[in-house]
A and B are shown apart, each in its own frame.
Chain A
């Protein structure tokens, strides 16, 4: 009759339920319903719902389209690596390559405008971690993930890799500027 020995009733579902348990099970069940409701509710009313728009791609195809985007919208070069700073028009497409071990190119956005980000990896899996906004998205090879971002504050943002990608993982960093 203890937890270590067979129940008193031969068939355990005939044993009675304690009232405290009934109260708690009811509370917990309702709480589960509330939490189940919150996710679809946020899809309707919230502004942070990660897109699932995904295409199969190849590293070559994705790199070629990124290069075309860079060629079209580069406004200057900057930083120790002299990377292009790409400023696509509001509402436009932004391409960012994740590879061993950097994010390319640098992006400049306008606050309050929306941009369609195309994310894919050239090689292994990476993590797109936008700081300090703290938005974290998995980036995998051969899939192109299209996510719309709307920056809500100006400043210099970093993109840090937060999926382990080998010995240079901690060197993998990129930049996004948000201006007025």
Chain B
């Protein structure tokens, strides 16, 4: 068995070779589907830009369907499977359970993703990612998603199996690491998510084949969102685990306290999924009590968890920096971070963008009554481009720069471009999120090819002129983000193909794994009675922005028609 492992000279991690092969395959597939989805996204953005209006209507709806599925499902889940194998097998120094079945899972996911792309490209399944019944897609559309989901579910069970092996073979002492704990959170939510998907997609497949007469459209929405929204909760749990991992990789950080961070992950498991009901706030047929309890994650307990991570991740970095001697003033620790290291800058932009843009907009939009101002407007895609793209995608990109030398033993090429890449992608996507949300506040609908109503025979609605400006600015931001996204794909693919091969014993210089400050260095750090005063100030700025924006939206709501 011993020859099945190697020890990474850069990190000291013990890597199981069959697991490494699977992680490589899943990560490469992830980047391929990110590339495909990104090209579709470019075309969506250019069609929304009124002066460009690139695609005809049928191609726009096809492209929008394909964009959502490729980046929101395939890129994310492939990467997360690689991540689950990493946080179990590599971080626990354990062999991966049943690598052969891991290849079966991978094969199912690849077949599902390719089949889905094919059937959408035929034009028979332009039903959007949500595929709301009774609008009908080709049966292969549902089948391809089921195949992909079965593969992903198998991947989750391989992860759980690896945890059991690590425990039984005593490859670690005490409790698992915080990052592995975050991975467990993601995997538990993934099982709930995929089961919800199966409960709704299998009957929908049978309905599309004619074996079931009717699927209730409200029941579909309720269960589908148990899949559709919960899959985004997998992303959140996974990218927060990645944030914690990068804090250790770049700064040698330790958790501020294990208890708080782990309780926050536990609250995700308990409360995150019920919030999928915030997609149903503008629906008939459910009581307000039901809507309020679920949309608030049982009184905002999961929001609380996210805000806790929002403090403890930068807090752990601040503490480590202060322990290393950057202890003056409020923000010396932040000024002295490696802003040219894409692993750090990507993670930090992800953290700030996820919190300020995605988090605040999501909670505001998820208030039962305020939702009526935003439901199905461009505000919704604006919100989730902040959470899923700036938050999850950028965090995964940031980690990938580090995984290439660790897993593939290749040096990253084009380091100059790499140091700019998170800024191009992050700022481009910040524009996308802000301008789409802006257009949404003006009432511009999502998933809509023509907001000038040129084909209605003279029945038109004129949106405020600012809407056109915002959509043009969105187009420009899409271009910037696509340059950043393309730069990522080019750098990674070029590094895998042409990057300098690293020897089995060779250590990279500068090192890619920071040393940990000693416990003694942590003594007496901080200012004003706090170990992390800078982070606390940033958190308070966040809180004030959050509260102001929250109450401004209640004021907007009060100005519209009476609704009862």
Contacts and interface: CB of A to CB of B under 8 A. Distances in A.
Interface of A: 1-7, 9-21, 23-25, 27-29, 31-33, 35-36, 38-40, 42-43, 46-54, 79-81, 114, 119, 123-125, 127, 129-138, 140-145, 147-152, 158, 160-167, 169-171, 173-175
A169 B447 contact: yes
A47 B367 contact: no
B129 to A, nearest CB: 10
Given A135-B563, A173-B456, A12 B539 contact: no
Given A6-B173, A11-B175, A24-B539, A175 B459 contact: yes
B254 A2 contact: yes
A40 B292 contact: yes
Interface of B: 57-58, 61, 91, 126, 128, 132, 134-135, 172-179, 216-218, 221, 244-245, 247-249, 252-260, 262, 280-288, 292, 296, 299-301, 303-304, 307-308, 311-312, 315-316, 363, 367-369, 372-377, 441-443, 445-451, 453, 455-461, 463-464, 516, 529-533, 535-536, 539, 543, 546-547, 550, 554, 557-558, 560-564
B531 to A, nearest CB: 6
A38 to B, nearest CB: 7
Given A1-B254, A170-B450, A35 B300 contact: yes
Contact of A3 (B245, B285, B301, B547): B245
A137 B561 contact: no
B458 A171 contact: no
A139 to B, nearest CB: 8
Given A42-B369, A123-B134, A131-B463, A3 B256 contact: no
Contacts of A18: 256-257, 260, 315, 531-532
A105 to B, nearest CB: 13
Query: Which of B57, B259, B296, B308 has the largest count of A CB atoms less than 10 A from its CB?
Result: B259
Contact of B284 (A23, A24, A143, A167): A143
Nearest to B279: A138
A129 B443 CA distance: 8
Query: Which of A6, A49, A164, A175 has the largest count of B CB atoms less than 10 A from its CB?
Result: A164
A42 B554 contact: yes
A20 B375 CA distance: 37
Nearest to B173: A6
Contact of B446 (A31, A145, A162): A162
Nearest to B246: A3
Contacts of B248: 2-4
A6 B461 contact: no
A6 to B, nearest CB: 5
Given A49-B563, A49-B564, A79-B459, 12 more contacts: A12-B175, A38-B554, A46-B369, A46-B557, A47-B563, A50-B369, A52-B288, A132-B442, A135-B561, A136-B372, A140-B283, A148-B563
A35 B286 CA distance: 21
Contact of A39 (B132, B175, B296, B562): B296
Contact of A129 (B174, B304, B377, B539): B377
A47 B564 contact: yes
Nearest to A141: B217
